[in-house]
Amino acid sequence: MEIRQTRLETLNTWLDRLSSPEVVVFGLRLRAFHVFGAAGVASAVLLASTLAVLHLLPVQGILYLVVTVLPGLIAIALIHKVFTGEERLVLYHQEITALLLAALFLRLARLPVLPYLDITVLAIGAINAIGRFGCLSAGCCHGKPHTWGVCYTQHAERGVIPACWAGVRFFPVQLLEAVLTLAAIALGAWMVLAGAPAGSALCAYTLAYGFARFGLEYLRGDTDRAYLAGFSEAQWTSAILNVLLVIAQLAGLLPLLGWHIALSTLLPLLMAAIYISTRTGSLDELSLLHPRHLQEIAEAVSAGDEGDVIDVRQTSLGVQISTGRVRSESGWIYHYAFSYRQGLMPEPAARLIARLVLLLKHPHQSSPSAITGGERRIHHLLVSSDPQIAEPDRLSQIPGPWVTVNR
């Protein structure tokens, strides 16, 4: 157990170093987000040029694309900053814009469109893979609370992320996306070098990244995204792009491959199944762990830090949470109670919220914690620095069947 804890601490320390908002380059302190962004662009140009040479395509075509597409992407980012006041890059927006600009330029320059688009989409993937390290450092696109991961205390103090997330560790979903994106790039590059029909790498990368991104969205905990019918903008974009791939293949614009069409139709069907399940209550966990609801819970339990008075908050899903604490001979005893405003809260939901509270407020708590269901189905979570407080013989003195909560 101690060895495992030591490894987790080592991993967390390493991840915290990666999350530094600034890096030193040649003695200059620069924003890590900008440094990784520049490194991503350089990697993209190098990858595209290498694939063009190996695929016997004129390298000048890549240079033409760089001077045509890159200014367009920068312009999109600047326009977004002017109208919103925020420096924010949305991958799918950038990717779609780049591919449209590249296709237009290639058509006007009378260069082969699909072979260059194969390379262009992989180059964009390289920007994304390296750029996700910038997201890790900036605190954007972060994951959900986890037992190990990245802690953005500095970012919370600077107002980059909400104050309720101070001291909370997040799953490093940015790193996972970087790894999966590199795998999708490798698949596409292999298809290009293996002589697959032009456009095959474009389809393969779009499908592979689309599926990966769809799943990764359930691991993300940031709230800076639009949602419709329970799905994020990126999930909708992934599904729509898959449908467009099928249409383009059937229309003869892209190579017609049976496995492409089969996989392209799978994601919309998966969305339909998830939507039906959430409406029937089969996937309540997805609603409770929605990023915006997670932040509401974090704000609710953080309110208890303001004093010893019991504070009661309610989330948008009707989850009522009260927080309080009392001093014992050996330290503080923290008490949390949660229930649904209407109806009974089932035990799985109570345990889910209890584990989340532990991750948010007591990540280093090594002593037992306990949870019970009261007469009105109000679930209570007790956390103490005194191991004896949560022992079974002491818990038996409190009404309710107490059980240990495992994180």
Listing DSSP states for 130-147 in one string gives HHHHHHHHHTTT-B-EEE
Here the tokens at position 114 are 């699909």
What is the DSSP secondary structure assignment for residue 381, as one 8-state letter?
A: E
H or E segment and range at residue 272: helix 258-279
List, for residues 38-86, the tens digit of each pLDDT value. 899 899 999 999 999 998 888 888 888 888 887 777 777 777 666 666 6
Identify whether the C-beta of residue 341 lies closer than 8 Å to the C-beta of residue 314.
yes
Give the tokens for residue 220. 């993300």
- Interval 104-120: pLDDT, tens: 888 888 889 999 999 99
404 falls in which pLDDT band (50, 70, 90)?
very low
Q: How far is CA 387 from CA 223, 356, 384, in A?
A: 37, 20, 7
Residue 192 contacts by C-beta under 8 Å, 6 or more apart in sequence?
51, 54, 55, 118, 119, 122, 201
* CA separation for the pair 75, 79 (Å, rounded): 6
**Confidence grade of residue 89 (pLDDT, cut at 50, 70, 90):** low
Whole-number pLDDT of residue 3: 64
- State the DSSP code for 310: -
The DSSP symbol for 318 reads -
Nearest C-alpha neighbor of 337 from the set 308, 362, 371: 371
Asked whether 166 and 9 are in contact (CB, 8 A), the reply is: no
Show me where the domains of the chain are located: 13-282, 291-404
Which CATH architecture does the domain made up of 291-404 adopt?
3-Layer(aba) Sandwich (3.40)
Where does 276-362 show beta strands of DSSP type E?
311-314, 319-328, 331-340
Exposure pattern of 264-284 as b/e (b: 16+ CB <10 Å)? beebeeebeebeeebeeeebe
Is the predicted pLDDT of residue 194 greater than 80, yes or no? yes
Whole-prediction pTM value? 0.86
